[in-house]
Structure 1
Amino acid sequence: MRCSDHVSPTEELITLALHICSLIRDIDQTVPADGAYHVVRFPFGDAESSDAHEMHQIEQPDGHTIEDWDSESRSGLIWPSVSGWASLTAMIQWESGNYSELRDRFVRDPLDLAEGSDSTATDHRPPSPGMQCFTKHHQIFVDPDTPLALAVAHDDSSGRRIVHAQFKLAIDDDVA
């Protein structure tokens, strides 16, 4: 017996939708040597990997318009298009430096625009030889009223560059 034999001709097939936003940054971003977390900023439009569900827009859902994506922390925000169970994925590549620790985390509402900042999946990493390349994955519930971001920090004595970053969100809207 085949799986399709269990579906009667009158039953509807259910299609689950994934709402996806995939951001890529190929331009260096300098992170100050202040020990604080900083939102990784991402370009808009053709420089994005994918934003079919309009979760990373110059015109933000709260009415703010981003003038300069490379200097405004708001350009690092993904505003979920629906509520649901979400997979967050990131890749961060730092230049080599005099680090003893590199830090990264996902943050709900990092700029206190909604309910207040709430970080999750915080990693403190010792450096490896040469360039620092890291990936991370975490799953959380998301809501359209609460933006998400990838934030990073380091403990070097001078500012250091992120030379490549990716931030991806996939929401299963069937789990709310």
Structure 2
Amino acid sequence: MPLAIASLKYEAAHSGAQTITYDSDGYHLVRFPYAAGEESYDAWKMHDPAGGGGKSTYPDPRSGLIWPSHHGWGTLSALVFWKADSRATEYRARFVRDPLNLSTGYDSTATTDTPATGGGQYRSCTWQMFVHPGTPVGLKIAARAGDRKIAVPIVLAEFKLAIETDVIKP
């Protein structure tokens, strides 16, 4: 079965600290460098600075987008490591179609909400859905203390999309 894959990685140690800013939906769109790293892979140019006909420079908001190269069944995967912060009581992650309202409109899916554990916070999540060229996808995160959003730094994030392009139709 043919697959088109984009695999992105952000590491604070290599790319510098990512400023956590919350959008109107209460989440931060995680940004990813455009330079190929040891674990990044983008042969289909789904994480291209000119993706969707725009222009981008890391770490602007568009650097958080994957633009699917094909119509198909997409498996989205994410990994986020937050720095230890005793203020936070919960951590959230979600996948969003068109998180910047550039094409079809904001559509969040697969939100996870987990309580804080001792030490650093390490989370992974996976979701599957149909994806389409022209509708970007993004990974959004949040850390909260009760009903307050707090800017807990992330030290590592990975965001991956694998598109099965040969979906059988009845």
TM range (shorter): 0.7 to 0.9
Give, in angstroms, the shift of residue 64 of structure 1.
Answer: 1.3
| Aligned counterpart, 1:41 | 31
The structure richer in strand per residue is 2
| The 10-residue stretch of structure 1 (90-99 or 35-44) with the greater mean CA deviation from structure 2 | 35-44
How big is each residue's C-alpha offset from its partner over 1:89-136, in whole Å with a ceiling of 9 and x where there is no partner?
A: 000000111111111100000000111110111011100100000000
Letter in structure 2 aligned against 1:50: Y
Q: How far apart, in 1, do the equivalents of 2:166 and 2:36 lie?
A: 29
Pair 1:161 & 2:143 matched? no
Instruction: Report % sequence identity.
Output: 44
| Aligned counterpart, 2:73 | 85
| The 10-residue stretch of structure 1 (104-113 or 23-32) with the greater mean CA deviation from structure 2 | 23-32
Provide TM-score, normalisation by structure 2. 0.87
Root mean square deviation of aligned Cα: 1.7
Q: How far apart, in 1, do the equivalents of 2:49 and 2:134 lie?
A: 16
1:17-36 paired onto structure 2 within 5 Å: 17-27=2-12, 28-32=17-21, 36=26
**Partner secondary structure for residue 116 of structure 2:** coil
Q: Is the 8 A contact 1:107 1:120 kept in 2?
A: yes
1:11-160 paired onto structure 2 within 5 Å: 16-27=1-12, 28-32=17-21, 36-47=26-37, 49-61=40-52, 63-67=53-57, 69-70=58-59, 72-97=60-85, 98-156=87-145, 158-160=150-152
Unaligned runs of 5+ in 1: 1-15
Unaligned runs of 5+ in 2: none
The number of residue pairs the alignment matches comes to 158
| The 10-residue stretch of structure 1 (25-34 or 166-175) with the greater mean CA deviation from structure 2 | 25-34
Give, in angstroms, the shift of residue 154 of structure 1.
Answer: 1.3
Q: Which structure is larger by alpha-carbon Rg, 1 or 2?
A: 1
Give, in angstroms, the shift of residue 33 of structure 1.
Answer: 7.1
Q: How far apart, in 2, do the equivalents of 1:145 and 1:38 lie?
A: 22
| Aligned counterpart, 1:9 | none
Provide TM-score, normalisation by structure 1. 0.84
Give, in angstroms, the shift of residue 140 of structure 1.
Answer: 0.3
